[in-house]
Structure 1
């Protein structure tokens, strides 16, 4: 009966030892301590059980107890001896603890034999197990019999499963939260860009309308003003007036195309609910018209009196092309600095074009006045 009981304990101890080592290697020190404690209770002669148990405990006294138990089983165990030397070198053990563990190691009997002899030999395993149990009341005060150990192992396993479930749920929730945050930021950014685009378009339309209104008022004022004809200077030649009239007539066609292009752009961008694609397309069309008009005007040869106005007009067109480039860059990247550059450049272009228009209109007004013939001046 005693022999079969010993064999059963050894088999159960071997199974628990494998599980305890796996738990220790997995970093579950508390579970490993419970399993390995049960191993040495079932098989007190389990040398590796004592040695592994010493590696998962924290109290130096408990570690020394396990190492001395391993040495009591195998006095040539170098790992156990080096462990005790390390504890003594760090002065982690008191003298009374060393004496207690040493006396316990001295009274440890040898492994039980299979031959049934007298009653003293049969009593040895029982007394040895009682000493182990009393010693482990200090090592693991919250440990119980085998059923409690099994229950603790399963409770730990269930806790680990619950923690893994919570971790998995968190890993699933985090991408969803990041996606929602990204959508919210995208919506806020698009709203801000559309609002900024509407403000820039309104400001641009206002500036263009103001420039057109000012040019129209200049035309009306020039038409209403009664120009008193001055006496022609003798050196004014008819060829000079003809060249000026020819330049103004050739300049009128590209200017009329530019006014039509600006009106089309204003109508396309002032509609409510227009998208950025429509605005970008209208801006590109206006840029193409300005570029063609610039090429036609640059090919003209202005008279001496309109050379400065000719240069100002070309500079204004160049600035409008640059402003429209900034506007197209804004529609592609929706950066606020592009919109601000476009607005400032367009304002400077309007100023130079307005100066050129005033000079051209003054020259046209002077030529439109009826001049007397040279021989009729008296």
Structure 2
């Protein structure tokens, strides 16, 4: 029986080869899909020894045939200008090229995320739509618009790795939303990126950050589906293997002496993961890393809000509150952080009121229920 996982792994690689040869993105994807249909038909028992080479050959032929049907003149131009040069080009890793095209600056973040999951992640349009809780037709239109935006563009060289990292970070932050675990998909894609650019410290830092956060996934919700905050999580349910891998990646990245935002965030996550209990958390060192993060990402309000929590633990809740009050009142989760710090300062009634305000703006039903539970716990009886 044909190996579906093998086809999923090979699909972005084959697509990358066609794109590097100069095929239009949408046409290349159509040709690869046609080649996959041929593979299912011709590989009834097992894949050939060089499955990737077979798919590249068939997909390229499908691409040329499509152009032949449209225009013989265009076909001659393609054969002359795009015929692959001699040498081991089929063995090269086109993951970075394909990722950077899907994360092209001309695309909106939402379009880049959708196209990356479709072309590189191998997810179906229906799976992506379910993950983002939108109709399949809506997601199909989004992906089609992204392909049209890239139509006619020639991609010989990879683009900006930083743009790719940002899109992968966005995918990871969508998290687990149902049938598709986007955090796991982001980790898979980031592993591919790290393999393509093994000397990039920030790529390794991002993968470390993802692993260190994903390691806590099993403890984030109780049996009833309610949120369990970090301080209250059962740390025996954390994935120690993922933590160890994340720490090793982070140490290797930091050793390259090219500090970036993702490495700093990973260092903060590692300090939380290293604490045997909430009381043993090394907040002074976490605050130092937040200071580095502010230097690396000046003006980022989310970083400023999280730093206020660290200040609240190191210098006292009132010091943290002063920082929170200086931030934009519309900043997401600002009221929740203020409520937390007021509670630590002993202002229970003020904290309860702020938890209710924060619940009204919560982005999910689970978070809203959690905030209302905190408000009820603190409200005067």
Q: Which has the higher helix share?
A: 1
TM-score computed with the length of structure 1 as normaliser: 0.21
TM-score computed with the length of structure 2 as normaliser: 0.21
Could you say which structure has the larger radius of gyration?
Answer: 1
Q: Which has the higher contact order (CA 8 A, sep 6+)?
A: 1
